[in-house]
Amino acid sequence: MRVLSRLGLTEALTGQAGEELLDFNLLDSAGETIVSFKQRARERYGHPAAGFRRYRLRAALLEAARREPGVTLHSGHRLVSLDCGESAASTAAARPATLVFENGASFTADLVVGCDGIRSRVRAAVRGAGEPPPRYTGTEEVICVTRARNEDLVARSGLNLILGSGPRQFGTYGVGSECMWFASRRRPESRDSWGAIKTPQEQEAVRQELLEEFKGWTLVEQLVQRDVDIMMRVGIYDRPAVSDWVRGVVTLAGDAASPIPPNLGQGGNKALEDAGVLVGCMKRLRGDVPAALQLYQRLRVPRAAALLGDTRAGGEVSGLDSPFFIAVRNTLLRAFVGITGGLPLGWLWSYDTERVVREARL
Protein backbone atom coordinates (compact mmCIF):
# COMPACT_ATOMS: atom_id res chain seq x y z
CA MET A 1 0.00 0.00 0.00
CA ARG A 2 2.95 2.32 0.57
CA VAL A 3 4.05 1.75 -3.04
CA LEU A 4 0.51 2.10 -4.38
CA SER A 5 -0.03 5.31 -2.41
CA ARG A 6 2.63 6.95 -4.56
CA LEU A 7 0.36 6.35 -7.54
CA GLY A 8 -2.57 7.87 -5.65
CA LEU A 9 -4.41 4.54 -5.32
CA THR A 10 -4.75 4.10 -1.54
CA GLU A 11 -8.26 5.40 -1.03
CA ALA A 12 -9.60 3.81 -4.22
CA LEU A 13 -8.35 0.39 -3.15
CA THR A 14 -9.58 0.66 0.44
CA GLY A 15 -12.87 2.32 -0.48
CA GLN A 16 -14.63 1.76 -3.78
CA ALA A 17 -12.61 -1.25 -4.99
CA GLY A 18 -11.66 -2.98 -1.74
CA GLU A 19 -11.99 -3.08 2.02
CA GLU A 20 -9.71 -1.96 4.82
CA LEU A 21 -8.85 -4.90 7.12
CA LEU A 22 -8.73 -3.74 10.74
CA ASP A 23 -9.15 -6.94 12.74
CA PHE A 24 -7.12 -10.16 12.69
CA ASN A 25 -8.79 -13.30 14.03
CA LEU A 26 -6.91 -16.58 14.34
CA LEU A 27 -9.18 -19.55 15.14
CA ASP A 28 -8.89 -23.28 15.60
CA SER A 29 -10.94 -25.83 13.67
CA ALA A 30 -13.60 -25.90 16.37
CA GLY A 31 -14.15 -22.17 15.89
CA GLU A 32 -12.48 -21.20 19.18
CA THR A 33 -10.39 -18.02 19.10
CA ILE A 34 -6.63 -18.52 19.42
CA VAL A 35 -5.83 -14.79 19.20
CA SER A 36 -7.72 -11.72 18.04
CA PHE A 37 -6.39 -8.18 17.80
CA LYS A 38 -6.60 -4.84 16.00
CA GLN A 39 -3.97 -4.61 13.25
CA ARG A 40 -3.62 -0.79 13.51
CA ALA A 41 -1.71 -0.71 10.22
CA ARG A 42 -2.43 2.98 9.55
CA GLU A 43 -1.24 4.01 13.00
CA ARG A 44 1.84 1.78 13.04
CA TYR A 45 3.00 1.98 9.43
CA GLY A 46 1.23 4.96 7.90
CA HIS A 47 -0.84 2.93 5.44
CA PRO A 48 -3.82 0.58 5.71
CA ALA A 49 -3.99 -3.17 5.22
CA ALA A 50 -6.61 -3.87 2.56
CA GLY A 51 -8.31 -6.70 0.74
CA PHE A 52 -9.26 -6.27 -2.92
CA ARG A 53 -9.63 -8.39 -6.02
CA ARG A 54 -6.57 -8.60 -8.22
CA TYR A 55 -8.41 -7.67 -11.40
CA ARG A 56 -9.42 -4.40 -9.71
CA LEU A 57 -5.82 -3.74 -8.73
CA ARG A 58 -4.76 -4.50 -12.30
CA ALA A 59 -7.41 -2.12 -13.67
CA ALA A 60 -6.28 0.64 -11.29
CA LEU A 61 -2.63 0.16 -12.29
CA LEU A 62 -3.49 0.20 -16.00
CA GLU A 63 -5.48 3.38 -15.58
CA ALA A 64 -2.61 5.01 -13.67
CA ALA A 65 -0.22 4.00 -16.47
CA ARG A 66 -2.52 5.42 -19.15
CA ARG A 67 -2.48 8.78 -17.37
CA GLU A 68 1.32 8.96 -17.65
CA PRO A 69 2.57 10.88 -20.69
CA GLY A 70 4.60 8.80 -23.14
CA VAL A 71 3.35 5.42 -21.87
CA THR A 72 2.12 2.92 -24.49
CA LEU A 73 0.49 -0.34 -23.45
CA HIS A 74 0.41 -3.49 -25.61
CA SER A 75 -1.63 -6.56 -24.67
CA GLY A 76 -2.03 -10.02 -26.17
CA HIS A 77 1.69 -10.70 -26.60
CA ARG A 78 3.20 -14.06 -25.57
CA LEU A 79 6.98 -14.09 -25.43
CA VAL A 80 8.77 -16.61 -27.67
CA SER A 81 12.42 -15.57 -27.36
CA LEU A 82 14.53 -12.96 -25.62
CA ASP A 83 18.07 -11.78 -26.30
CA CYS A 84 19.10 -10.06 -23.06
CA GLY A 85 21.46 -7.61 -24.77
CA GLU A 86 24.60 -6.34 -23.08
CA SER A 87 25.16 -3.66 -20.47
CA ALA A 88 28.44 -1.79 -20.29
CA ALA A 89 29.97 1.28 -18.70
CA SER A 90 30.56 2.61 -22.22
CA THR A 91 27.42 3.47 -24.18
CA ALA A 92 29.12 2.30 -27.38
CA ALA A 93 29.56 -1.21 -25.93
CA ALA A 94 25.96 -1.50 -24.72
CA ARG A 95 23.41 -3.46 -26.76
CA PRO A 96 19.63 -3.38 -26.24
CA ALA A 97 17.51 -6.44 -25.58
CA THR A 98 15.39 -7.95 -28.36
CA LEU A 99 12.01 -9.55 -27.66
CA VAL A 100 10.11 -11.71 -30.14
CA PHE A 101 6.46 -12.63 -29.57
CA GLU A 102 4.19 -15.41 -30.74
CA ASN A 103 2.08 -13.05 -32.84
CA GLY A 104 5.15 -12.03 -34.88
CA ALA A 105 5.76 -8.70 -33.15
CA SER A 106 9.27 -7.84 -32.00
CA PHE A 107 10.71 -5.00 -29.92
CA THR A 108 14.10 -3.75 -28.84
CA ALA A 109 14.43 -2.26 -25.35
CA ASP A 110 17.04 -0.53 -23.20
CA LEU A 111 15.51 -2.20 -20.14
CA VAL A 112 13.33 -5.31 -19.77
CA VAL A 113 11.64 -6.29 -16.51
CA GLY A 114 10.48 -9.90 -16.49
CA CYS A 115 7.47 -10.19 -14.18
CA ASP A 116 5.85 -13.09 -16.02
CA GLY A 117 5.23 -15.43 -13.12
CA ILE A 118 6.59 -18.58 -11.58
CA ARG A 119 7.24 -20.31 -14.94
CA SER A 120 8.78 -17.15 -16.39
CA ARG A 121 10.23 -17.27 -19.89
CA VAL A 122 12.26 -14.18 -19.07
CA ARG A 123 13.80 -16.01 -16.11
CA ALA A 124 14.84 -18.85 -18.43
CA ALA A 125 16.63 -16.29 -20.62
CA VAL A 126 18.32 -14.63 -17.62
CA ARG A 127 19.29 -17.74 -15.68
CA GLY A 128 19.45 -20.39 -18.38
CA ALA A 129 16.88 -22.93 -19.54
CA GLY A 130 18.66 -25.70 -17.58
CA GLU A 131 17.66 -24.26 -14.22
CA PRO A 132 15.53 -26.69 -12.15
CA PRO A 133 11.76 -26.14 -12.35
CA PRO A 134 9.75 -24.74 -9.43
CA ARG A 135 9.26 -27.11 -6.47
CA TYR A 136 5.75 -28.27 -5.62
CA THR A 137 5.22 -27.80 -1.88
CA GLY A 138 2.60 -30.57 -1.60
CA THR A 139 -0.20 -28.08 -0.86
CA GLU A 140 -3.17 -27.20 -3.05
CA GLU A 141 -5.47 -24.25 -2.44
CA VAL A 142 -9.04 -23.78 -3.55
CA ILE A 143 -9.60 -20.03 -3.90
CA CYS A 144 -13.05 -18.45 -4.29
CA VAL A 145 -14.62 -15.03 -4.51
CA THR A 146 -18.28 -15.00 -3.54
CA ARG A 147 -21.00 -13.14 -5.42
CA ALA A 148 -22.15 -11.32 -2.29
CA ARG A 149 -20.35 -9.82 0.70
CA ASN A 150 -21.82 -12.43 3.15
CA GLU A 151 -21.47 -10.18 6.17
CA ASP A 152 -23.50 -12.62 8.26
CA LEU A 153 -20.49 -14.99 8.11
CA VAL A 154 -17.53 -12.67 7.44
CA ALA A 155 -17.68 -9.49 9.51
CA ARG A 156 -16.69 -6.29 7.74
CA SER A 157 -13.03 -5.25 8.18
CA GLY A 158 -12.02 -8.64 9.54
CA LEU A 159 -9.37 -11.10 8.34
CA ASN A 160 -10.06 -14.61 9.62
CA LEU A 161 -7.65 -17.55 9.51
CA ILE A 162 -8.58 -21.01 10.79
CA LEU A 163 -5.76 -23.48 11.51
CA GLY A 164 -6.25 -27.23 11.53
CA SER A 165 -3.65 -29.97 11.65
CA GLY A 166 -1.00 -30.13 8.96
CA PRO A 167 -1.56 -27.87 5.96
CA ARG A 168 -5.34 -27.73 6.44
CA GLN A 169 -6.21 -24.05 6.73
CA PHE A 170 -9.11 -21.83 5.81
CA GLY A 171 -9.02 -18.06 5.46
CA THR A 172 -11.53 -15.40 4.53
CA TYR A 173 -11.84 -11.60 4.35
CA GLY A 174 -13.75 -8.89 2.52
CA VAL A 175 -12.71 -7.61 -0.90
CA GLY A 176 -15.23 -4.78 -1.25
CA SER A 177 -18.65 -5.91 -2.47
CA GLU A 178 -17.64 -9.59 -2.18
CA CYS A 179 -15.58 -11.74 0.16
CA MET A 180 -12.71 -14.05 -0.68
CA TRP A 181 -11.99 -17.42 0.91
CA PHE A 182 -9.31 -20.06 0.47
CA ALA A 183 -8.94 -23.62 1.68
CA SER A 184 -5.50 -25.27 1.85
CA ARG A 185 -4.95 -28.99 2.03
CA ARG A 186 -2.30 -31.58 1.18
CA ARG A 187 -2.75 -32.92 -2.35
CA PRO A 188 -0.63 -34.75 -4.96
CA GLU A 189 0.67 -32.60 -7.80
CA SER A 190 -2.06 -32.33 -10.43
CA ARG A 191 -1.34 -29.54 -12.91
CA ASP A 192 -4.01 -30.77 -15.33
CA SER A 193 -6.78 -30.06 -12.79
CA TRP A 194 -5.55 -26.63 -11.68
CA GLY A 195 -7.00 -23.36 -12.87
CA ALA A 196 -10.51 -21.90 -13.01
CA ILE A 197 -13.36 -24.31 -12.22
CA LYS A 198 -16.05 -23.20 -14.62
CA THR A 199 -19.08 -25.47 -14.70
CA PRO A 200 -21.64 -25.70 -11.88
CA GLN A 201 -21.13 -29.48 -11.78
CA GLU A 202 -17.35 -29.13 -11.29
CA GLN A 203 -17.84 -26.46 -8.64
CA GLU A 204 -20.29 -28.66 -6.76
CA ALA A 205 -17.81 -31.56 -6.84
CA VAL A 206 -15.15 -29.33 -5.27
CA ARG A 207 -17.62 -28.16 -2.62
CA GLN A 208 -18.33 -31.76 -1.67
CA GLU A 209 -14.61 -32.50 -1.42
CA LEU A 210 -14.14 -29.54 0.92
CA LEU A 211 -17.20 -30.39 3.02
CA GLU A 212 -15.76 -33.87 3.54
CA GLU A 213 -12.21 -32.66 4.24
CA PHE A 214 -13.28 -29.83 6.57
CA LYS A 215 -16.17 -31.63 8.23
CA GLY A 216 -17.09 -29.95 11.50
CA TRP A 217 -15.45 -26.61 10.60
CA THR A 218 -18.64 -24.54 10.93
CA LEU A 219 -17.55 -21.45 8.99
CA VAL A 220 -16.21 -23.59 6.14
CA GLU A 221 -19.39 -25.65 5.95
CA GLN A 222 -21.49 -22.49 5.72
CA LEU A 223 -19.35 -20.30 3.46
CA VAL A 224 -18.34 -22.83 0.80
CA GLN A 225 -22.00 -23.36 -0.06
CA ARG A 226 -22.60 -19.70 -0.89
CA ASP A 227 -22.70 -18.62 -4.55
CA VAL A 228 -19.28 -17.80 -6.01
CA ASP A 229 -18.16 -15.47 -8.77
CA ILE A 230 -14.98 -17.44 -9.38
CA MET A 231 -13.50 -20.69 -8.06
CA MET A 232 -9.95 -21.89 -8.72
CA ARG A 233 -7.67 -24.76 -7.77
CA VAL A 234 -4.05 -23.65 -7.38
CA GLY A 235 -0.95 -25.71 -6.69
CA ILE A 236 1.56 -23.97 -4.41
CA TYR A 237 5.15 -23.84 -5.66
CA ASP A 238 8.34 -22.08 -4.70
CA ARG A 239 12.00 -21.93 -5.74
CA PRO A 240 15.23 -21.69 -3.75
CA ALA A 241 16.51 -18.16 -3.27
CA VAL A 242 19.06 -17.15 -5.92
CA SER A 243 21.49 -14.23 -5.98
CA ASP A 244 21.48 -13.32 -9.68
CA TRP A 245 18.43 -11.60 -11.15
CA VAL A 246 20.17 -9.62 -13.90
CA ARG A 247 21.60 -10.43 -17.33
CA GLY A 248 22.48 -7.73 -19.83
CA VAL A 249 19.72 -5.13 -19.64
CA VAL A 250 17.13 -7.60 -18.35
CA THR A 251 16.07 -8.13 -14.74
CA LEU A 252 13.40 -10.09 -12.88
CA ALA A 253 10.62 -9.08 -10.49
CA GLY A 254 7.76 -10.71 -8.60
CA ASP A 255 7.37 -14.49 -8.86
CA ALA A 256 9.74 -14.56 -11.83
CA ALA A 257 12.52 -13.44 -9.48
CA SER A 258 11.62 -15.19 -6.24
CA PRO A 259 8.27 -16.96 -5.81
CA ILE A 260 7.16 -17.62 -2.25
CA PRO A 261 4.32 -19.72 -0.80
CA PRO A 262 1.31 -17.73 0.49
CA ASN A 263 1.75 -18.60 4.19
CA LEU A 264 2.34 -14.95 5.12
CA GLY A 265 0.39 -13.51 2.19
CA GLN A 266 3.42 -11.70 0.79
CA GLY A 267 3.63 -12.69 -2.90
CA GLY A 268 1.86 -9.66 -4.33
CA ASN A 269 3.45 -7.39 -1.74
CA LYS A 270 6.93 -8.57 -2.70
CA ALA A 271 6.24 -7.85 -6.38
CA LEU A 272 5.17 -4.30 -5.54
CA GLU A 273 8.28 -3.87 -3.38
CA ASP A 274 10.40 -5.03 -6.33
CA ALA A 275 8.72 -2.44 -8.57
CA GLY A 276 9.13 0.35 -6.02
CA VAL A 277 12.82 -0.36 -5.46
CA LEU A 278 13.56 -0.70 -9.19
CA VAL A 279 11.92 2.66 -9.94
CA GLY A 280 13.81 4.22 -7.03
CA CYS A 281 17.13 2.86 -8.31
CA MET A 282 16.48 4.18 -11.81
CA LYS A 283 15.64 7.62 -10.40
CA ARG A 284 18.59 7.79 -8.03
CA LEU A 285 21.05 6.74 -10.73
CA ARG A 286 19.39 8.97 -13.34
CA GLY A 287 18.59 6.28 -15.86
CA ASP A 288 21.99 4.54 -15.75
CA VAL A 289 20.51 1.09 -16.47
CA PRO A 290 23.53 -1.13 -15.64
CA ALA A 291 24.21 0.66 -12.33
CA ALA A 292 20.51 0.77 -11.41
CA LEU A 293 20.06 -2.96 -12.06
CA GLN A 294 23.06 -3.87 -9.93
CA LEU A 295 21.78 -1.70 -7.06
CA TYR A 296 18.27 -3.16 -7.42
CA GLN A 297 19.66 -6.70 -7.27
CA ARG A 298 21.84 -5.89 -4.26
CA LEU A 299 18.89 -4.43 -2.35
CA ARG A 300 16.22 -6.95 -3.27
CA VAL A 301 17.96 -10.35 -3.21
CA PRO A 302 18.48 -10.40 0.60
CA ARG A 303 14.94 -9.18 1.24
CA ALA A 304 13.47 -11.84 -1.07
CA ALA A 305 15.54 -14.57 0.64
CA ALA A 306 14.36 -13.39 4.07
CA LEU A 307 10.72 -13.40 2.90
CA LEU A 308 11.11 -16.95 1.57
CA GLY A 309 12.77 -18.14 4.77
CA ASP A 310 10.14 -16.60 7.06
CA THR A 311 7.31 -17.80 4.84
CA ARG A 312 8.56 -21.38 4.97
CA ALA A 313 9.04 -21.09 8.75
CA GLY A 314 5.54 -19.65 9.08
CA GLY A 315 4.19 -22.60 7.12
CA GLU A 316 5.89 -25.01 9.50
CA VAL A 317 4.48 -23.23 12.56
CA SER A 318 0.94 -22.98 11.18
CA GLY A 319 1.03 -26.50 9.70
CA LEU A 320 1.85 -28.53 12.81
CA ASP A 321 0.37 -32.04 13.07
CA SER A 322 1.02 -32.93 16.71
CA PRO A 323 -1.80 -31.94 19.13
CA PHE A 324 0.84 -31.26 21.80
CA PHE A 325 2.85 -28.86 19.63
CA ILE A 326 -0.35 -27.22 18.36
CA ALA A 327 -1.34 -26.53 21.99
CA VAL A 328 2.14 -25.14 22.73
CA ARG A 329 2.01 -22.92 19.64
CA ASN A 330 -1.41 -21.55 20.56
CA THR A 331 -0.30 -20.82 24.13
CA LEU A 332 2.79 -18.97 22.93
CA LEU A 333 0.75 -16.97 20.40
CA ARG A 334 -1.71 -15.90 23.09
CA ALA A 335 1.15 -14.86 25.37
CA PHE A 336 2.94 -12.93 22.62
CA VAL A 337 -0.17 -11.09 21.45
CA GLY A 338 -1.12 -10.38 25.05
CA ILE A 339 2.22 -8.65 25.58
CA THR A 340 2.75 -6.91 22.22
CA GLY A 341 -0.78 -6.48 20.89
CA GLY A 342 -0.07 -8.27 17.61
CA LEU A 343 2.10 -10.68 15.66
CA PRO A 344 5.79 -9.93 14.89
CA LEU A 345 5.19 -8.60 11.37
CA GLY A 346 6.67 -5.13 11.70
CA TRP A 347 9.72 -6.05 9.65
CA LEU A 348 7.36 -6.95 6.80
CA TRP A 349 5.00 -4.00 6.95
CA SER A 350 7.46 -1.23 7.77
CA TYR A 351 9.56 -1.75 4.61
CA ASP A 352 9.80 1.53 2.69
CA THR A 353 11.13 1.23 -0.85
CA GLU A 354 12.04 4.91 -1.14
CA ARG A 355 13.95 4.93 2.14
CA VAL A 356 15.75 1.70 1.26
CA VAL A 357 17.00 3.20 -2.01
CA ARG A 358 17.78 6.59 -0.50
CA GLU A 359 19.89 5.09 2.30
CA ALA A 360 21.72 2.56 0.11
CA ARG A 361 25.48 3.08 -0.18
CA LEU A 362 26.71 3.39 -3.75
pLDDT of residue 265: 86
pLDDT of residue 89: 62
Answer whether residue 1 is part of any domain.
no
Is the pLDDT assigned to residue 204 strictly greater than 70?
A: yes
Residue pair 3/46 in contact (Cβ under 8 Å)? The answer is no
Angle between helices 267-284 and 289-318 (to 10 degrees): 160
Answer whether residue 68 is part of any domain.
no
pLDDT of residue 314: 87
Both 304 and 273 in one domain: the answer is yes
Both 229 and 328 in one domain: the answer is no
Mean pLDDT for the stretch of residues 226-235 = 96
CA gap 220, 212 in Å, rounded: 11
- 158-163 and 23-28 strand pairing: parallel
pLDDT of residue 180: 97
Residue pair 184/169 in contact (Cβ under 8 Å)? The answer is yes
Domain boundary, last residue among 184, 212, 238: 238
Answer whether residue 187 is part of any domain.
yes
Mean pLDDT for the stretch of residues 229-258 = 95
Answer whether residue 78 is part of any domain.
yes
Is the pLDDT assigned to residue 205 strictly greater than 60?
A: yes
pLDDT of residue 344: 85
Both 280 and 147 in one domain: the answer is no
- 106-109 and 158-163 strand pairing: unpaired
Domain boundary, last residue among 192, 223, 238: 238
Lowest-confidence region among 12-16, 48-52, 58-62, 231-235: 12-16
Reported as a single tens digit per residue, the pLDDT across 116-131 is: 999 999 999 999 988 8
Tell me how far CA of residue 37 lies from CA of 22, 25, 159, 337, in angstroms.
9, 7, 10, 8
- CATH (domain of 224): 3.30.9.30
Both 258 and 172 in one domain: the answer is no
Answer whether residue 298 is part of any domain.
yes
| Structural domain that includes position 246 | 74-134+240-359
Is the pLDDT assigned to residue 362 strictly greater than 60?
A: yes
Both 110 and 145 in one domain: the answer is no
CA gap 186, 42 in Å, rounded: 36
For the chain, percent of residues with pLDDT exceeding 70: 99
Both 258 and 113 in one domain: the answer is yes
Answer whether residue 60 is part of any domain.
no
CB atoms within 10 A of CB 39: 23
pLDDT of residue 91: 55
Domain count, the chain: 2
Answer whether residue 300 is part of any domain.
yes
Both 23 and 90 in one domain: the answer is no
Mean pLDDT for the stretch of residues 93-115 = 94
Mean pLDDT for the stretch of residues 347-352 = 92
Is the pLDDT assigned to residue 88 strictly greater than 80?
A: no
Both 214 and 328 in one domain: the answer is no
- Name the band, by pLDDT with cuts 50, 70 and 90, for residue 72: very high
- Name the band, by pLDDT with cuts 50, 70 and 90, for residue 197: very high
pLDDT of residue 92: 58
Both 113 and 218 in one domain: the answer is no
- CATH (domain of 264): 3.50.50.60
What's the chain look like in SS3? CHHHHCCCCHHHHHCCCEEECCEEEEEECCCCEEEEEECCHHHHHCCCCEEECHHHHHHHHHHHHHHCCCCCCCCCCCEEEEECCECCCCHHHCECEEEEECCCCEEEECCEEECCCCCCHHHHHHHCCCCCCCEEEEEEEEEEEECCCCCCCCCCCEEEEEECCCCCEEEEEECCCCEEEEEEEECCCCHHHCEECCCHHHHHHHHHHHHHHCCCCHHHHHHCCCCEEEEEEEEEEECCCCCCCEECCEEECHHHCCCCCHHHCCHHHHHHHHHHHHHHHHHHCCCCHHHHHHHHHHHHHHHHHHHHHHHHHHHHHHCCCCHHHHHHHHHHHHHHHHHHCCCCCHHHHCCCHHHHHHHCCC
Is the pLDDT assigned to residue 154 strictly greater than 70?
A: yes
pLDDT of residue 178: 96
Mean pLDDT for the stretch of residues 172-186 = 96
Both 214 and 317 in one domain: the answer is no
Domain boundary, last residue among 211, 238, 265: 238
CA gap 297, 280 in Å, rounded: 12
Q: Please give the residue that has the higher pLDDT: either 100 or 314.
A: 100
Four-CA torsion 54, 58, 59, 64, nearest 10 degrees? 140
Both 191 and 154 in one domain: the answer is yes
pTM for the structure as a whole: 0.94
Answer whether residue 61 is part of any domain.
no
Residue type, 360: A
Both 192 and 285 in one domain: the answer is no
Is the pLDDT assigned to residue 250 strictly greater than 60?
A: yes
